[in-house]
Every structure is written in structure tokens, then in C-alpha cells.
């Protein structure tokens, strides 16, 4: 997400109709809004909003266990409010959970399960397609739907040995037990899955702050005789995290991610250096993640950053963004921390030059690779690794100029991050230059007539995608699309200085979740890129 660029072209001039003072005022207001969401130590501790997926699973668990809790009525009210949701999956999940709570027979059928799974798979990376399909089957199974004919245990019912990060290992174990119960299977794989789930200590804690995984674990154990007390304890633990609207979130917190991305955006927009130093000091102290047992299968990234202090699972994205932020704020003061983070990134680089999200040997991903390249950019000694990573990105570019879906619903997310990674390429890297030009072309071609971008070509413009598009074209040479997208964003700013619109982040892919400030942060980063590139703003 960096702005520094050794090959930055000449400044752009704002087109007619966009006044520099309006851009400055909008930037100042958004800086104040985001700065105001930081705590005294500089951390941004944003709360994840409720989601139908977790809420439906929570109500189903309450119904399944016969628990008598005041939380039930609030949860019912939340889900009833989503019975007419425009999202088909949300409608189905809410309807099944509410119906079961009322004692009605499930209304789903195996064809519906297959249809929903097919729709979800179209928005997820190909390498997780089997895992995601079986997860949909498992979720709908515990809500009372019959399994389709192609339902099977993950890994063919064998004890798994493939490299998986902790969250995926627990998810796979949960799905194994849920589907095994529905299929009437018990073998060594189900015994191994049970051991994995019990290691998360679900009776007393929400493991890794991951509410969805906690719910899947409890449903898996609820179908396994002898674990009734663990399930009751786990439900009591979960209910402590019910949101004010009655629902439940995807995860409990993402403090490190919010702080690093928010810090990068604030730095780009010229925020108070004292605030930035506090943010960097707090973030720097979090390298290494929480001291919790890792359940990864394979060499997981260690010595970097996780998404929050309560999470042990380090990942490339959080590590890369934390490194970028520390390096732009004070690379000298954080030199030792940065060295450790750089080593952590390089340790998981794949033989293809790309970077996975979590575990060495897992599939390399374009968005993670772009993040790593940007973080490694200030380190000349990493030039060979960066060149190889840029080669992976060039090889991964699709015919339409885009890239495989990453951790965002917006096509523009990977595009802007790869474009910034290309800024670090050496002047003689023709493939990276061609890749960058193709990115700029597809972003220009998919800009809506109102000046913004939607999450996919043809979608209505939204704040986050437009911010991503604006960042991308700040590194091109034509000021007209920059001016049009900037004008669109200026008109969308709310009275409090913030922004809105649909969320783009997904977890597990491709299910969207919302941290409200993670809409404001990309827009602020985009305004920071305008500040750096547009002549009248310098």
C-alpha cells in the first residue's frame, strides 16, 4: 500500500471541476474521523458487526441443546430481520434457523444446497473450492437440510497430511465430524478430527477469537456423544460476545489489521506524526502473535503479525502491512522488529516466487504476493526474491487484466495492490511494466459513467472499489479518470467525515463481513495517493 515509488511519473494536474481546496477539506475531515477512532495507545480497536451465517448457527445450537437464555429472543429478532434479505444465502440461513426454533420441519432440499454451493464457489479461489463446497454442505446440514449426492468427507475420509494453517485444519476437522455424522461414518479420520477440535478448548474460550470456527466446532461436538458438557460450556462462552443487535460476528477483533492499514492511510494523508509513532510502537510490540497452541499442518508463518493480539495465526497480509507501516513511520527505531518480520515473510515464499497467506507450501496467491513485495521493497538485499515474486504476478495475470479472487469481493482490490507492487520493479523489468499497463487499462475500461467502480464490472459504484480504482490510476498518466473518481468520492462523504457502502472483506472466502472503519480506511489511503501524485495537492 506504499506511496513511495522510485519510478513515479510527473505530477498530474486536477481536471476542471475538481477544486484542490475541496479535496484538502475532505481529506482533513476523514483524517480527523479515522484519528478519532484510535485509542490512547494508538491502536484501532474496531468491532466486527453481526453476520447472518454465525447468527443462524448460534440459534441452531441454542435450539439443538435446548438452552434457555435471554440471548435467544434477541437472536431471533436479528434473524427475522433478514428473512427478506436480498442475499439468497442469508435468506436461506435465517429461514432455516428461525423455522427450526419455531419447531417447523426444515424447508431445504439437496438441490437447494447444491445451488447455493455452486453460487458461492464462483466467488472463491479455485484452490479452496472443494473445502468451501463441503463447508456449505456442513452448515446447511446442521440447519436441517439433506446432503446432496456428492457429499463426502474432506480428503476422501483419510487422515489429512496436506499443509494447512490452523484455522483451515480446525475447519476441516469440524466439517469432517459434521458430515460424518450425517453420513453415518466413523473411522481414523473422524477420531483425528475429534482430537483437533478438543485441542481448541471450546468449553472455555473462543479459539483465536474466531466465532464462526467456534460455532462449527460446537456443532461438530454436539453430534458426537459424550461431549454435551463441553458444548454447553462453549455456548455459554459464545453468548458473552453477542452484539447489541442480537447477532454474532465472524471474528471478535482485528486490532492489528485495523491499526496497520489505518496507520498507512493516515500517514499517506499527512496525519499527526505523534499519533503515527504511537500507533507504530503499539503495533511493533505485537510481532509474533499470541502465545497459543498452533494447530497448523506444515511450516506456518511465524515471527510476523497476526490480525489481532488474541490470535496466534500469523499471516502474510498482516505481516506485510505492519512492516510497511513501521518502515514509513520510523525504520530506524523499529529496525530489529522489521528485520524479524522480513525474515518471516521470506521463509514462506514459494518455489514459484509467490507467497501464500499462511503456510509454506500452500498455494501462492497474487494479492498476498503483492503485499509481500511492497513490504520488501525498501530492502535492496531482497531484490532477487522480489523479482521472482513479480514474475509470479505476471504469470498469474488473467486475460482480462485481473487476478484470481483474494480476500476481497472487489476485483479492484488485487488490481491496486499488484499495481503498487509493480512500482518496486527495476527499470529493466519489462514484464512488470507490461503487467502494470494492463492493470491500468482494465481499470480505466471498467470505470462506471458516474466516475466510480463497482466490486465487479457492471456493478453499481461503491466507496471501497472506487478508492481502489483511484489508487491504481494515480500511478497512470491520464488525469481525467482520476478527477472523475475523486469527484464521485467527494460527493459521497458523510456529515461526520466518514464513508459507507457495502463491505468488501471476506472470511472465510467468499463470505463478506463488516468492520465499519475498513470502509473509511481505503478511501483515506486513496486521498493520500492523490495528495502525493496530484500537482495542486503537493
CA distance 406 to 411: 9
The pTM for the full model equals 0.94
Q: From the CB of residue 156, how many other CB atoms can be counted at a distance below 10 Å?
A: 8
pLDDT score for 4: 44
Write out the H or E segment, with its range, that includes residue 535: none
Name every residue whose Cβ is closer than 8 Å to that of residue 86 and which is 6 or more positions away in sequence.
none
CA distance 485 to 390: 28
pLDDT score for 6: 43
The whole-angstrom distance between residue 227's C-alpha and the CA centroid of its chain comes to 32
pLDDT score for 13: 81
* Residue with grid cell 479472487, as numbered in its chain: 405
**Rg of the chain's alpha carbons, rounded to an integer?**
23
Residues 208 and 167: beta-carbon distance below 8 Å = yes
Known catalytic residues are 317
Write out the H or E segment, with its range, that includes residue 50: strand 50-51
Peptide bond into 510 cis (omega under 30): yes
pLDDT score for 211: 98
Domain spans, the chain: 20-47+253-537, 50-249
CA distance 155 to 162: 9
DSSP state of 361: T
pLDDT score for 231: 98
CA distance 217 to 229: 14
Write out the H or E segment, with its range, that includes residue 320: helix 316-329
DSSP β-bridge partners for residue 355: 365
pLDDT score for 40: 97
Q: From the CB of residue 6, how many other CB atoms can be counted at a distance below 10 Å?
A: 10
Residues 304 and 344: beta-carbon distance below 8 Å = yes
The whole-angstrom distance between residue 125's C-alpha and the CA centroid of its chain comes to 13
pLDDT per residue as tens, the chain (538 positions) = 654 444 556 788 887 778 999 999 999 999 999 999 999 999 999 999 999 999 999 999 999 999 888 999 999 999 999 999 999 889 999 999 999 999 887 666 667 777 777 777 666 677 677 888 899 899 999 999 888 888 888 887 776 666 678 898 999 999 999 999 999 999 999 999 999 999 999 999 999 999 999 999 999 999 999 999 999 999 999 999 999 999 999 999 999 999 999 999 999 999 999 999 999 999 999 998 554 445 665 678 889 999 999 999 999 999 999 999 999 999 999 999 999 999 999 999 999 999 999 999 999 999 999 999 999 999 999 999 999 999 999 999 999 999 998 999 999 999 999 999 999 999 999 999 999 999 999 999 999 999 999 999 999 999 999 999 999 999 998 999 999 999 999 999 999 999 999 999 999 988 999 999 999 999 999 999 999 988 767 6
Copy the grid coordinates of residue 413: 482490490
Residues 367 and 415: beta-carbon distance below 8 Å = no
Residue 226 C-beta-side C-alpha neighbours within 13 Å: 2
Residue 458 C-beta-side C-alpha neighbours within 13 Å: 0
CA distance 14 to 487: 11
Provide CATH code, domain 20-47+253-537.
1.50.10.20
CA distance 510 to 405: 9
Amino acid at each position: 500500500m506504499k506511496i513511495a515509488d522510485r519510478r513515479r511519473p510527473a505530477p498530474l494536474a486536477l481536471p476542471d471541476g475538481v477544486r484542490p481546496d475541496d479535496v484538502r477539506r475532505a481529506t482533513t475531515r476523514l483524517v480527523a474521523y479515522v484519528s478519532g477512532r484510535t485509542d490512547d495507545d494508538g491502536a484501532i480497536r474496531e468491532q466486527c458487526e453481526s453476520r447472518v451465517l454465525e447468527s443462524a448457527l448460534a440459534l441452531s445450537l441454542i435450539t439443538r441443546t435446548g438452552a434457555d437464555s435471554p440471548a435467544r429472543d434477541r437472536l431471533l429478532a436479528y434473524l427475522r430481520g433478514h428473512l427478506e434479505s436480498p442475499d439468497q444465502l442469508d435468506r436461506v440461513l435465517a429461514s432455516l434457523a428461525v423455522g427450526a426454533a419455531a419447531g417447523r420441519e426444515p424447508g431445504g432440499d439437496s438441490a437447494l444446497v447444491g445451488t447455493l454451493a455452486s453460487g458461492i464457489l464462483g466467488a472463491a479461489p479455485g484452490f479452496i473450492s472443494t473445502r468451501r463446497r463441503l463447508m456449505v454442505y456442513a452448515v446447511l446440514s446442521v440447519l436441517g437440510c439433506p446432503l446432496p449426492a456428492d457429499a463426502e468427507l474432506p480428503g476422501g475420509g483419510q487422515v489429512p497430511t496436506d499443509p494447512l494453517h490452523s484455522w483451515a485444519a480446525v475447519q476441516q476437522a469440524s466439517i469432517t465430524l459434521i458430515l460424518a455424522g450425517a453420513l453415518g461414518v466413523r473411522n481414523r479420520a473422524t477420531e483425528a478430527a475429534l482430537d483437533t477440535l478438543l485441542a481448541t478448548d471450546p468449553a472455555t474460550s473462543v479459539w483465536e477469537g474466531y466465532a464462526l470456527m467456534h460455532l462449527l466446532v460446537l456443532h461438530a461436538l454436539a453430534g458426537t456423544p459424550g461431549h454435551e458438557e463441553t458444548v454447553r460450556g462453549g455456548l455459554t462462552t459464545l453468548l458473552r460476545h453477542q452484539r447489541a443487535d442480537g447477532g454474532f460476528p465472524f471474528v471478535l477483533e482485528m486490532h492489528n489489521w485495523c491499526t496497520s492499514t489505518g496507520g498507512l492511510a493516515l500517514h499517506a494523508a499527512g496525519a499527526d506524526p505523534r499519533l503515527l509513532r504511537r500507533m507504530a510502537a503499539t503495533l511493533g510490540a505485537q510481532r509474533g502473535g499470541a502465545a497459543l497452541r498452533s494447530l497448523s499442518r506444515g511450516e506456518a508463518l511465524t515471527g510476523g503479525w497476526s490480525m489481532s493480539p488474541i490470535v496466534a495465526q500469523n499471516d502474510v497480509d498482516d505481516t506485510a502491512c505492519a512492516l510497511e507501516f513501521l518502515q514509513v513511520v520510523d525504520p530506524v527505531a523499529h529496525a530489529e522488529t522489521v528485520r524479524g518480520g522480513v525474515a518471516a515473510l521470506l521463509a514462506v515464499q514459494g518455489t514459484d516466487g509467490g507467497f501464500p497467506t499462511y503456510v509454506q507450501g500452500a498455494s501462492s496467491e497474487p494479492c498476498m504476493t503483492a503485499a509481500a513485495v511492497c513490504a520488501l521493497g525498501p530492502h535492496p538485499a531482497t531484490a532477487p526474491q522480489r523479482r521472482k515474486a513479480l514474475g509470479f504476478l505476471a504469470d498469474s495475470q488473467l486475460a482480462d487484466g485481473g487476478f484470481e479472487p483474494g480476500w476481497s469481493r472487489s476485483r479492484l482490490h488485487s488490481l491496486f495492490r499488484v499495481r503498487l507492487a509493480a512500482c518496486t520493479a527495476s527499470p529493466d523489468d519489462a514484464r512488470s511494466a507490461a503487467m502494470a499497463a494492463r492493470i491500468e487499462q482494465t481499470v480505466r475500461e471498467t470505470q462506471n459513467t458516474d466516475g466510480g467502480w463497482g466490486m465487479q464490472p457492471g456493478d453499481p459504484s461503491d466507496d471501497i472499489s472506487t478508492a481502489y480504482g483511484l489508487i491504481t490510476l494515480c500511478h497512470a498518466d491520464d488525469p481525467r479518470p482520476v478527477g472523475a473518481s475523486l469527484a464521485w468520492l467527494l460527493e459521497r462523504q458523510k456529515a461526520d467525515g466518514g464513508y459507507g457502502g457495502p463491505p468488501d472483506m471476506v472470511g472465510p472466502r467468499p463470505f463478506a463481513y463488516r468492520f465499519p472503519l475498513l470502509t473509511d480506511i481505503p478511501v483515506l489511503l486513496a486521498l493520500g495517493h492523490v495528495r502525493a501524485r496530484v500537482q495542486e495537492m503537493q
